[in-house]
A and B are shown apart, each in its own frame.
Chain A
Amino acid sequence: MRLLTYNFLQCPKTKTFPLILEPTLVETIETEYNKEFILRMIPRLDWNLVRQVSRQFAFGELPQVAPKEGTQDEETLRLLHKMLLETHIKEGVLKSQDGTCYPIKDGIPNMLITQLKDE
């Protein structure tokens, strides 16, 4: 699971967003830089969560306001690319505020409530 995808996930039971991410295995996989992709994604992202993730994964402090189309801030876009597209959570858990844990196994989050008792 890329950190990008984490931004789209909510708790299936309580519908709360965001979930708390507790990774145990993180991998960086190089991906071709695509500025258009990053710019297209930004309006779809919850920027507060992006900033929080940036701190959690030691990417540093991001601007308070998300960059927009036509931005000159190439540095932030490159950082977002590295963080959101190249950082993969291979193993870990996504935790809801009510304590429910959703495991990430081999890069695939299991968001099924019915499966939880089997885990």
Chain B
Amino acid sequence: MNKTSCLELNDVYPPSEDTFLLVDAVTADKLFMQSYFQPFPSLVVEMGVGSGTVMKQVSSCYADNYAILYLATDIQYAALHSFSSGTTGHILEFLQSDLFTSLRPTDDWMCIFNPPYVATDEEEYMRGQTEQSDVATWAGGIQGRQLIDRFCEQLCEATANSHRVLLYLLLVDTNRPTEVLQFLRDKGNFVTVQLAHRRVGWESIRVYRCCKVSHSH
């Protein structure tokens, strides 16, 4: 998958294969989600909401429950602004944020993350993180892992005292998923399961479910 071709499209990166794989995996996992939260989380956060496709599909899949606060975050204002002007129905809120840094720790919530996973050099990654450009939607730095690693560290820290946290995470094989999952298991007490796998060109995309285990489960 040649993500650089998308640079020609301005502002917001359009949905593609990875988005659809993530949507399919999360919606197909609804039964597990319901048994885990009995039956719904109070908060659903999507990190890097981009075009909003995942948030829209997931919230309509969970439409039988309206007692959920949806929080769409992105580092890019353009993404949030274009998404926010076209939504109604659910309680959906928007936040321009660098991952979890501006969210106080809470419990009983679900997170969805389709990270910028493309391997780039450090410079390109930093450009995505500091400028309001769509480089942020794909430039993942060394092994495509720089933001993923920051995300995992922050998640484990923010959920240190939480009992019920469910994460749907998309990774590609270049990111070395086994290392990422090992970290989440060791540092965050997450149980990890692969839900979906698709080969797109030379890259293998995978979706994982990671959930916090506490004594009550």
User: Which residues of A pack against B, CB within 8 Å?
Assistant: 1-2, 4-5, 8-12, 17, 31, 34, 36-37, 40-41, 43-44, 46, 85, 102, 105-115
Contact = CB atoms under 8 A, between A and B. Distances in A.
Interface string B74-105: 01010011001000000101111110011110
B62 interface: no
B66 interface: yes
A5 B93 contact: yes
A105 B96 CA distance: 10
Contacts of B97: 12, 111-112
Nearest first, the 5 A-B pairs at minimum CB distance are: A111-B102, A12-B101, A10-B104, A37-B67, A12-B102
Interface of B: 42-43, 66-69, 71, 75, 77, 80-81, 84, 91, 93-98, 101-104, 106-108, 129-130, 132
A85 B91 contact: yes
A109 B95 contact: yes
A8 B104 contact: yes
Nearest to A113: B98
Given A37-B91, A107-B84, A109-B96, A114 B102 contact: no
Contacts of A110: 77, 96
Nearest to B76: A112
B167 to A, nearest CB: 17
Contacts of A112: 75, 96-98
A115 B78 CA distance: 14
26 contacts: A1-B94, A4-B69, A5-B69, A5-B71, A8-B71, A12-B101, A12-B102, A31-B91, A37-B67, A37-B91, A40-B42, A40-B67, A43-B42, A44-B43, A44-B106, A44-B108, A102-B102, A107-B84, A107-B94, A108-B77, A109-B95, A109-B102, A110-B96, A111-B97, A112-B75, A114-B98
